[in-house]
Structure 1
Amino acid sequence: EMLSRKVLVKPSDKATKSKKWNIKETIDEATRRNPDACLHVENPGKPVLVFGQDLEALEREHEQACDGAVDVQKNGKSRKIRSTQNTMACIVLSWPGEMEADCKRWQARSVKWLQDTYGDQLKTVIRHDDEAFPHLHAFIVPDDLKAISLHPGDSAKQKAKADGLSPKEQ
C-alpha cells in the first residue's frame, strides 16, 4: 500500500465507500493499536519490533524529511512536495497459522528478503500476534520520497518508457 500524509478523496472513493488510510492512521493501527484504528482486533496488543526503528521514530523522521523536501516542476520551479504525495509504502506479510518455529524462520527470511529488495529504504518491520494469524508490517521510505518508485509495475513502465515503447506498450 502506498501512503501519504493526507489522503486525496476521489468521487469514486466516496461512491464505493472505500477508505484509504493516511500515514498517521496506518501507524495508529500498526503500533499504537488505537481502538478506533483497529476495530477488527478483539483484544489489541502491543506489536513486536522485528527490525529497525520504532514507528514513532520513523514517523518523526519521515515528517522531517517531508517538511524539507522540494519537488522540481516541469517549468524548473521548485515547491514543497504535496501532502497527498505517496511518500511511504507499507507491505503486510501474513503467516497462515499459529506462531511456531517455522513462523520464526519465515519471519527471518521475510526480513532478509525485504532488506535485499529495499536496502536502507526499509525502515521498520513489526509483528502483530493479536490477530488470527501472525503477520508483519514493513514500512519503506524511498530516498526521493516518491513511493510509486517502489511499485514493480511503475518501475517496469518507466523502463519501457525509457526504451521508447508506446504508451500502450508501456
Structure 2
Amino acid sequence: MAATQQRPQFVHVESYKRERGDTHAASSIIGEALRIPGHCPHVEDAKPPEVHPVDPPVESPHEFRDWLYSTMAKCREANGAYLRRSAVALLTVIASMPREIATPEKVSQLRDLTVGWIYDFFGEKARVPYAITHDDESHPHVHVWVIPAKEETDNERWPLGSIFRGRKRDLYELQDSFYELVGHPLGMTRKGEQPQGIRLTRRQAIALRRNPKLAQETELYQAGFKAGVIQALYAQSIAPERHPTDVAKDFVPERMADHLGRAITRRERPKGRDFGR
C-alpha cells in the first residue's frame, strides 16, 4: 500500500512591537508584506501582493502604518499611562500551502479560511484589517494582520499584548485548531511524515542572505535552532516520558544529542551561532 502523501500545513503567529527602525518592529513587517522597496531583501524577485481588505480602518493599506502609530499614540494602559514604546503593535499570521496543490482558488480559500480561524482563535477582541497574498516565494502564502477590535481602539485601548499572551502558550492547540478549520478542508496534513526543519526568523533569513558564509557554521549552529524545537516539545508536555537526549536524536546526529540533552536539562541555551543577535 502506498504511503499517504504528506502535504503539511504551515502557520506561524508572530508579534511586532511599536518601536520603529527595527527588523522586529511593526513598520518593518508592514513594509515587507506590502513589498515596499527596502523591506524585503530576502525575496529575490519581489512582486506586488494581492491585498484583500477585511475590516480596514483606512481606505488604502499604504495608509495603515500611519494609522497604526497615530492610534497607538492616543491609547493608554489600564492604569491610565500612555502605551509603552515597546507595546505589541501588530500580530501577523502567516499561512502557506504546498505549491503542488496551490491553485488560485485554493490560495483564496487559504486566505479566507485563515481569516475565519483568526477570529475563532483570538476571539471578539481581535480585528483583521487586511489579508495579503504573496506568490513570489517558494510557497504561496498569506500575511494576515491582527489588531484590537474597533470597540477597543474607539475607547483608546490597545490590549493586543494581552490578546497575544493569552494564546501564546497554546501552540499545540493552535496547530490543531488551524488544521481543523483550515488545513484539513484544503487537503493538507497536520504535520509531515518526518520532523520539520526549523523556520528561520525574518531577521535571521535576511542576515543569511546578506552573508551566506554564516551557513557554513553548520552543525553546532543548526543545533541551536533544533534545540528550540526540543524545548518546545517539553514545554507543551508532548514528550514528557522521553529523556531530552532521546528526543534530540530525532533532530540531530547522535554524537550531538548528548550536548543538547544536557543543555536542555540544565535549561541553558545550547552554544551555537545565532546571527539574529
Query: Normalising to structure 2: TM-score of the pair?
Result: 0.45
| CA deviation vs aligned residue, 1:6-38 (integer Å, no higher than 9, x gap) | 17xxxxxxxxxxx8510111111110332x321
SS in 2 for 1:102: helix
Please name the residue that 1:96 is paired with.
98
SS in 1 for 2:99: coil
Q: Does the 8 A contact of 1:89 with 1:139 survive in 2?
A: yes
Please name the residue that 1:21 is paired with.
24
Q: For 1:25 and 1:87, locate their aligned partners in 2 and report how far apart those are by CA, in whole Å.
A: 12
Q: Report 1:6-155 matches (<5 A).
A: 6=19, 20-34=23-37, 36-52=38-54, 53=56, 54-73=60-79, 78-98=80-100, 99-100=102-103, 101-118=105-122, 121-142=127-148, 143=152, 144-151=157-164, 152-153=167-168
- Higher Rg of the two aligned structures: 2
Shift of 1:72: 4.0
Shift of 1:135: 0.7
Please name the residue that 1:166 is paired with.
none
Name whichever of 119-128 and 82-91 sits farther off. Answer: 119-128
Name whichever of 42-51 and 99-108 sits farther off. Answer: 99-108
- Return the structure number with greater relative CO, CA threshold 8 A, min gap 6: 1
Shift of 1:145: 1.7
Q: Superposition RMSD on alpha carbons, in Å?
A: 2.6
Q: For 1:141 and 1:129, locate their aligned partners in 2 and report how far apart those are by CA, in whole Å.
A: 24
Q: For 2:69 and 2:143, locate their aligned partners in 1 and report how far apart those are by CA, in whole Å.
A: 19
Report sequence identity in percent.
Answer: 20
Q: Does the 8 A contact of 2:75 with 2:83 survive in 1?
A: yes
Q: How many residues align?
A: 140
Query: Gapped runs of 5+ residues in structure 2?
Result: 1-13, 171-277
Shift of 1:88: 1.6
Shift of 1:102: 2.9
Q: Does the 8 A contact of 1:33 with 1:45 survive in 2?
A: no
| CA deviation vs aligned residue, 1:61-119 (integer Å, no higher than 9, x gap) | 2122111112243xxxx321111111221111112215403333333322322344455
